[in-house]
Amino acid sequence: MANPHLSGGRKLALHYFGVAMVLFMAQLLFGLLAGLQFIFPSFLYEILDFNVNRMVHINAMVVWMLYGFMGSVYWFLEDESGVEIVGLKWGQLAFWVLTGAVAVVVLVYLLIQIGSGSDTSLWLINEGREYIEAPRWADIGIVAVMLVFFYNVAATFAAGQWSGIAGVLTLDLVALAGLYLAGMFYVTNISVDQYWWWWVIHLWVEATWEVLVGCIMAWSLMKLLGVRRQVVQTWLYIEVALMFGSGILGLGHHYFWIGTPEYWFTIGGFFSALEPIPLVAMVVHSVYDAGVHRFKNSNHPALAWVIAHAFGNFLGAGVWGFMHTLPQINLYTHGTQWSASHGHLAFFGAYATINIAFFYLAAQQARGNVWMGGGLADGWRWKAALALLNIGVMGMTVALLIAGYEQSFIERAVEGSTWAGYFAAQNHPWFIQAMVWRMLFGLVTLTGGGLLFWDLLTIGRGEQRLAPIISEA
């Protein structure tokens, strides 16, 4: 990608963003296939079964979000440190290794799908553990790539200047890479298996990812709105304190029903109830920052997505999460469509939105820091994509919530959780109706995703005006 406007690190970031967008589309597509199978169970039966579609759906999501985060960090690394990226060649190599490995893993998922009950299958095909299904060889590869990424980040800051954002980011990446190791061994005991599995899943998603996003958000607020560094960094530390303070022991809300001791009821319940607090703080902070500047900013689409992030993170991760995490209600809602409802809004609200905001910041610079305010040519596209994606995901979330209520009452409370009770809930017209609504809003989401992709490829092309300079408050 020859681009006179971009440094080496930013060119590498664009590679990451490109793959992220492709994987985002794959996530939507395979989600749609899996959703269709809820309504038409014989659709693609024994060709691409639900388990394959669902696995590709959730794995594409995890991987595109990591690509988005890594791209965002490469994007602001030179700007934040004041020097060129140290070891960029290694970073470029790691990108191609990772992308090649992702392609091989996906092909194996689709073409080979399953193996015999042996270690060979777990090493080469699929580990069969939700969200971290990647075969063991790929796990080792991912850790190697993360080490290169970490080296790029830490060495660049060490060569240039350290800031508050740099310090938080570097320590967060140590935790992020370290936690992945907790999911890389086989044990027969499923309670022990699930205990460590949650270390990766929860501590990633509800702790290290949130803090990583906090760093990305902090940097974008300075660039987008001209917020003072001191203000942003103070908030970043407050968020780290609140996020880790509630999130690390909030892990306990996953330890109610997997064979773990009863004290997790108290610890998990208490810290879960605290978990929404940092997210409220984030909304207040973002809206306040935007309001202080009368929403004056250098990139309308990016700001719109940052605002979508603030609300989406608070609603999806905070409110939707808290609604069903206390053991008092979770006894009935655990393992129902409640979790799917929360998952859809939380991942979108907390992570997809901030990545998309960053894609727009990148698109603006890649085209020469062009105007991205009002009166932008074809400005309807980003607005329509924003509306369709948000309406689509919110619609799916509400439909799945209705299904979750129905399932909790009929399968769990009334029928006592037997298989007959499970199907009584799944066959109920109220459930099927909710799944049809989910499908319709899934199509809305897919349309929005396609439009977003198109817009990112074309926005700002041929634009002659330059972006306004936003000074610090």
Partner 1 sequence: MTEQIPRWAQESFWKKVAVWVTGGSFVLLVILTFDSMAKISAGGAKVPAYSVINLDVSYRYDKAKQRFQPVIGAEAPLFGKLLSENEAEQLVSLGKKTVQAKNCMNCHTLLGNGAYYAPDLTKAWLDQGWIAKESREQMMLNFLLDPENNARTFGSNRKMPNLDISQAEAEAVIAFLKWMSAIDTNGFPHNFIALGEGE
Find the binding residues for partner 1 in span 431-470 (CB under 8 A): none
Q: How far is CA 91 from CA 144, 305, 347, in A?
A: 11, 28, 27
Q: How far apart are CA 330 and CA 324, in angstroms?
A: 5
Q: How far apart are CA 131 and CA 200, in angstroms?
A: 10
Q: Is 257 in the site for partner 1 (CB under 8 A)?
A: yes
Closer by beta carbon to partner 1, 264 or else 305: 264
Closer by beta carbon to partner 1, 176 or else 388: 176
Which one, of 129, 254, 247, 252, lies nearest residue 193 by Cα?
129
Torsion, CA 368, CA 370, CA 372, CA 375, rounded to 10:
-150
Closer by beta carbon to partner 1, 87 or else 128: 128
Q: How far is the CB of 424 from partner 1 (least distance, A)?
A: 8
Describe the crossing of helices 353-366 and 300-312 by its angle, rounded to 10 degrees.
170
Q: How far is the CB of 121 from partner 1 (least distance, A)?
A: 4
| Cα angle: 81, vertex 85, 88; to 5 degrees | 165
From 418, 440, 457, 466, residue interacting with partner 1 (rule: CB under 8 A) = 418
Amino acid at 200: V
From 150, 311, 422, 453, residue interacting with partner 1 (rule: CB under 8 A) = 422
**Burial level of 36, CB count in 10 A (0-12/13-18/19+)?**
middle
Closer by beta carbon to partner 1, 83 or else 104: 104
What tokens appear for 416 in the block?
């006592």
DSSP class of residue 316 equals I
**Burial level of 436, CB count in 10 A (0-12/13-18/19+)?**
middle
Q: How far is the CB of 313 from partner 1 (least distance, A)?
A: 19
Closer by beta carbon to partner 1, 356 or else 402: 402
Q: How far apart are CA 156 and CA 8, in angstroms?
A: 13
From residue 54 to residue 93, what is the string marking binding to partner 1 with x (rule CB under 8 A)? Answer: xx--------------------------------------
Q: How far is CA 329 from CA 141, 276, 317, 346, in A?
A: 40, 17, 17, 19
From residue 37 to residue 56, what is the string marking binding to partner 1 with x (rule CB under 8 A)? Answer: xx--xx--xx--xxxx-xx-
Stretch touching partner 1 by CB under 8 A, among 264-272, 300-308, 382-390, 452-460: 264-272
Q: Is 430 in the site for partner 1 (CB under 8 A)?
A: no
From 162, 259, 380, 440, residue interacting with partner 1 (rule: CB under 8 A) = 259
Stretch touching partner 1 by CB under 8 A, among 66-74, 109-117, 374-382, 445-453: 109-117
Number of residues that bind partner 1 (CB under 8 A): 85
From 25, 158, 258, 470, residue interacting with partner 1 (rule: CB under 8 A) = 258
Stretch touching partner 1 by CB under 8 A, among 32-40, 137-145, 300-308, 353-361: 32-40
Q: How far apart are CA 284 and CA 310, in angstroms?
A: 9
> How far apart, in Å, do the first and last CA atoms of the chain sit?
36
Q: How far is the CB of 352 from partner 1 (least distance, A)?
A: 20
Q: Is 300 in the site for partner 1 (CB under 8 A)?
A: no
Closer by beta carbon to partner 1, 126 or else 152: 126
Site for partner 1 in 343-402 (CB under 8 A): none
The answer to whether the CB of 440 falls within 8 A of the CB of 395 is yes
Site for partner 1 in 127-186 (CB under 8 A): 127-130, 133, 164, 168, 186
From 27, 72, 156, 337, residue interacting with partner 1 (rule: CB under 8 A) = 337
Q: Is 332 in the site for partner 1 (CB under 8 A)?
A: yes
DSSP class of residue 39 equals H
Stretch touching partner 1 by CB under 8 A, among 22-30, 100-108, 281-289, 326-334: 326-334
From 30, 157, 195, 219, residue interacting with partner 1 (rule: CB under 8 A) = 195
Q: How far apart are CA 242 and CA 351, in angstroms?
A: 18
Place of tokens 């190697």: 144
Site for partner 1 in 205-234 (CB under 8 A): 230, 233-234
Closer by beta carbon to partner 1, 78 or else 133: 133
User: φ and ψ at 105, to 5 degrees?
Assistant: -60, -45
From 22, 25, 155, 192, residue interacting with partner 1 (rule: CB under 8 A) = 192
From 2, 4, 89, 188, residue interacting with partner 1 (rule: CB under 8 A) = 188
Q: Is 429 in the site for partner 1 (CB under 8 A)?
A: no
Helices (H), 251-352: 263-274, 276-292, 300-312, 320-325, 327-333, 337-347
Q: How far is CA 104 from CA 13, 258, 352, in A?
A: 22, 33, 24
Q: Is 334 in the site for partner 1 (CB under 8 A)?
A: yes
The answer to whether the CB of 56 falls within 8 A of the CB of 29 is no
Q: How far is the CB of 38 from partner 1 (least distance, A)?
A: 7
What tokens appear for 264 in the block?
């997790």
Closer by beta carbon to partner 1, 26 or else 389: 26
What tokens appear for 265 in the block?
């009821």
